[in-house]
A and B are shown apart, each in its own frame.
Chain A
Amino acid sequence: MARSFTHFLPLLLFACFAVIASIALVMTLSGERKPSELPSALIGKPVPPTELPSLYNPQAFVNIEAATSQPYLVNFFASWCAPCRAEAPALAILAKEIDIIGIAYKDKPQDSQRFLTDYGNPYTAIGSDNEGSAGLNWGVYGVPETYLISADGLIIKRHAGPIDGDILREELLPLIRSLQKQG
């Protein structure tokens, strides 16, 4: 009995490996598993304290604070970023549902302003992160990135890359609505 078991052990091991590999492959192919997408380390954590000069009024400051009365979005964008143009329509739709704070990431203020003139300004407030230091604090690794913050100042969701129709309808809007009901 023991002898026949050792005979088949390698086959068994290989079968296990093959099953795991196939599941991973199927998930990757169906788009369920995205190996290059990084989880945010900040999910469920309070927002990193952020104070940035306002884009349109450098003397004033935009503060992202822990406690607000409503959930809101934080969106990192830049005029030099093509996907940011692509997500402009989605942000315009979102702006009707929820406050969006924009952070102009590593961008000259006049360029950001021109970008907003050209593609629309969905933001309630815009901070200018010239050095990208706020981006570092938020764990941003590429614009656009969008964070959903709950009313009690916790990061609920991070989306890296442009917001397209699917993500808007199936992920962000349902989440936002459920948060707003709670609030």
Chain B
Amino acid sequence: MRFFQALILVLLANISVQTLPITQAFAITAEEQLTDPALEARARDLSKQLRCLVCQNQSIDDSDADLAKDLRAEVRKQLLGGADDKTILSNLQEKYGDYVLLNPPVSLATIGLWATPILALLLGGGLIVYSRRRGLPTPTPSVPLPSASEDKELASEKAIHTRPIGATSLAVTASFCILIAGAIYWFGLGSPSLPSQPLSQRASEINLEARQAEAQLAEKQQAFAAAKDATMGTPENIGNWLELALAAAELGRVEEELNALRTALSLTDEDIGIKSMLAEALTRSADGQVIPEARQLIAEILAENGGEPRALFLSGLAAMEDGAYNRAVDNWRYLIEISPKDAPWVSVVRENLTEAAERAGIALEAAGIALEEDSGTSPLPALSQESLSAAAEMSEAERLEMIEGMVANLRQRLDENPKDSEGWQRLARAYRVLNRPEEALEALGRASAAALNDFELQLAVLEQLMMAGKDRDTAPSQDKAKEVSVANIVLERAMALNAEHPELLFFAGHFARRDGDKDKARFYWAKLLDKIPASSETARLLQLELDKLAR
């Protein structure tokens, strides 16, 4: 029956904890307190026995409610009047009912409340005793009896341990576990001696996550500021610019990321890695659209290294955008082939590849691509002719030949359908990659002419013209003259559509300077400077250029 002793101990422990003095902060204020410490102690003691009728689960000692304050004052008033504790409690009970007492009196109405635990205990105990007497055989020791020198108690304990575990003892153990679990739960959450949890505190708990998120943001902003400082300190350090780009990307500040990457790129000798990062950032900034500038970069990267994963991926995206699903499939298939099997991008590329293949109407298995992870172990599939993976094995000359073939196809299509401005722009990019500047300029002229009413397309053409000019700053001067004359035509068309557009003003200034017309360049850029925030980085750079022009 040791079990019952333990049970009773646990129950006693609960009761004593309930009546322990409560030691945390209370609702009571200094001016409420009585000067006589003995009376005040009695007042506090009484307050703990009285329920706040507004909150209903707090004593008036704990509650901040107005009524609780009134009741505290009432208790003290009666104490000063010389009433004893019992009278005070019964006075309040008369007005507010039994409910005002946290310890309900034993009465006919409350007898069930008080008797239930005792009844449950008796019933449970009785059941256990009853079933033990009936259901279990008398224990027979299965170990040899201890020698006389051994402790008798030890012997009997051994006998108990060797008894088979019956359903009854299992039930006893289970109920005991439930009791223990209940006690732990109660001590953790239910005990009145626990400190109160005001709403403000819990609200702060809820807000904690929000604040953590804020802290993370602040951290990122700090990293960004630090990176920015570093680039200010040593602007020739490429690593600093790359770090700034990463920090800006974390914060989603695309403009700053692009600026940093461009600066880093300009510091290197056209580093492919940075170029591919820039291409990716440009694509991200356009919500996944591979914009002309990014396409240009991708073409440059792939021309230099046909296996640059980022560029291959983006090139596939660009092809998807153009509806050239076969090209996308080729790109991504090649990317998967050359990537290490555990490269982080492989799964994404696989997904994209599947989609592209679906659109292209290619059965991937038939084309020799196993989408399973172990595809690397199977022998390399036979590749279709237009596959870029074949292109990778081609010599430089062969590759150019393939591209020329594609360009010729595109050219033919455009001659049939000259209204396709974007097609002309793509053709221009291809010509630039093939180092055929004259034809690139011509294609750009056609691109502009094909979209006379589309301001955005005119801007895109201007951007390509600027790139083409940058490509060939060392080229013969007639190239530059032609570039400027084409640019002037496009500028005029764009000006007719939206003469005040900042980007257009920038291009106008740029081409004027290229043309050698410094005054005109200053005119446009000064106009642009008025339109952008004076504190921005762009404004600062523009001011620098303007100063240079003034010299």
Partner of B66, one of A6, A9, A106: A106
| B131 and A6 contacting across the interface, CB-CB below 8 Å | yes
Partner of B54, one of A9, A137, A141: A141
Tell me if B374 is interfacial: C-beta within 8 Å of chain A. Answer: no
Cross-chain pairs A/B with CB under 8 angstroms, 8 sampled: A6-B127, A41-B93, A41-B98, A42-B95, A136-B95, A137-B95, A139-B97, A142-B67
| A139 and B56 contacting across the interface, CB-CB below 8 Å | no
A38 neighbours in B (Cβ, 8 Å)? 53, 56, 96-97, 99
| A48 and B130 contacting across the interface, CB-CB below 8 Å | no
Query: A40-B97, A136-B95, A142-B54 are known contacts; what are 20 more A-B pairs with Cβ within 8 Å?
Result: A6-B130, A6-B131, A9-B127, A38-B56, A38-B97, A38-B99, A39-B99, A41-B94, A41-B95, A41-B96, A41-B97, A41-B98, A132-B66, A138-B95, A139-B95, A139-B96, A139-B97, A141-B54, A141-B67, A142-B67
Which 3 residue pairs spanning A and B have beta carbons closest together?
A41-B97, A141-B53, A139-B95
B71 neighbours in A (Cβ, 8 Å)? 136
Residues of B within 8 A of A (CB): 53-54, 56, 66-67, 70-71, 74, 93-99, 127, 130-131, 134
A36 CB, min distance to chain B CBs, angstroms: 6
Question: Given A6-B127, A38-B53, is A132 in contact with B70 using a C-beta cutoff of 8 Å?
Answer: yes
B309 CB, min distance to chain A CBs, angstroms: 62
Residue of A nearest to B93 (CB): A41
Tell me if A181 is interfacial: C-beta within 8 Å of chain B. Answer: no
A8 CB, min distance to chain B CBs, angstroms: 12
Interface readout for A87-125 with B: 1 if CB under 8 Å, 0 if not? Answer: 000000000000000000010000000000000000000
Measured between alpha carbons, how far is A136 from B93 in the docked complex, in Å? 11
| A48 and B95 contacting across the interface, CB-CB below 8 Å | yes
**Interface hub of B66, B70, B98, B130 (most chain A Cβ within 10 A):** B70
Tell me if A3 is interfacial: C-beta within 8 Å of chain B. Answer: yes
**Interface hub of A39, A42, A106, A141 (most chain B Cβ within 10 A):** A141
Measured between alpha carbons, how far is A182 from B511 in the docked complex, in Å? 105
Question: Given A6-B130, A136-B74, A141-B67, is A39 in contact with B54 using a C-beta cutoff of 8 Å?
Answer: no
A7 CB, min distance to chain B CBs, angstroms: 10
| A36 and B56 contacting across the interface, CB-CB below 8 Å | yes
B127 neighbours in A (Cβ, 8 Å)? 6, 9
B130 neighbours in A (Cβ, 8 Å)? 6
Interface residues of A in 133-162 (CB under 8 A from B): 135-139, 141-142
A136 neighbours in B (Cβ, 8 Å)? 70-71, 74, 95
Interface residues of A in 1-29 (CB under 8 A from B): 3, 6, 9
B93 neighbours in A (Cβ, 8 Å)? 41
Measured between alpha carbons, how far is A132 from B68 in the docked complex, in Å? 12
B53 neighbours in A (Cβ, 8 Å)? 38, 141
B97 neighbours in A (Cβ, 8 Å)? 38-41, 139
B131 neighbours in A (Cβ, 8 Å)? 6
Residue of A nearest to B52 (CB): A141
Measured between alpha carbons, how far is A142 from B98 in the docked complex, in Å? 18
A9 neighbours in B (Cβ, 8 Å)? 127
A19 CB, min distance to chain B CBs, angstroms: 16
Measured between alpha carbons, how far is A136 from B99 in the docked complex, in Å? 15
Measured between alpha carbons, how far is A36 from B54 in the docked complex, in Å? 9
Measured between alpha carbons, how far is A132 from B9 in the docked complex, in Å? 46
A48 neighbours in B (Cβ, 8 Å)? 95
A13 CB, min distance to chain B CBs, angstroms: 8
| B134 and A3 contacting across the interface, CB-CB below 8 Å | yes
B54 neighbours in A (Cβ, 8 Å)? 141-142
Measured between alpha carbons, how far is A41 from B96 in the docked complex, in Å? 5
Measured between alpha carbons, how far is A137 from B70 in the docked complex, in Å? 11
A40 neighbours in B (Cβ, 8 Å)? 97
A142 neighbours in B (Cβ, 8 Å)? 54, 67
B337 CB, min distance to chain A CBs, angstroms: 65
Residue of A nearest to B99 (CB): A38
**Interface hub of A6, A38, A136, A138 (most chain B Cβ within 10 A):** A136
Measured between alpha carbons, how far is A132 from B71 in the docked complex, in Å? 10
A135 neighbours in B (Cβ, 8 Å)? 70
Measured between alpha carbons, how far is A75 from B481 in the docked complex, in Å? 96
**Interface hub of A132, A135, A138 (most chain B Cβ within 10 A):** A132
A36 neighbours in B (Cβ, 8 Å)? 56
Residue of B nearest to A160 (CB): B53
B95 neighbours in A (Cβ, 8 Å)? 41-42, 48, 136-139
A3 neighbours in B (Cβ, 8 Å)? 134
Measured between alpha carbons, how far is A139 from B51 in the docked complex, in Å? 13
B247 CB, min distance to chain A CBs, angstroms: 52
A132 neighbours in B (Cβ, 8 Å)? 66, 70
A29 CB, min distance to chain B CBs, angstroms: 20
Residue of A nearest to B71 (CB): A136
A138 neighbours in B (Cβ, 8 Å)? 95
B56 neighbours in A (Cβ, 8 Å)? 36, 38
Residue of A nearest to B68 (CB): A141
Residue of A nearest to B135 (CB): A3
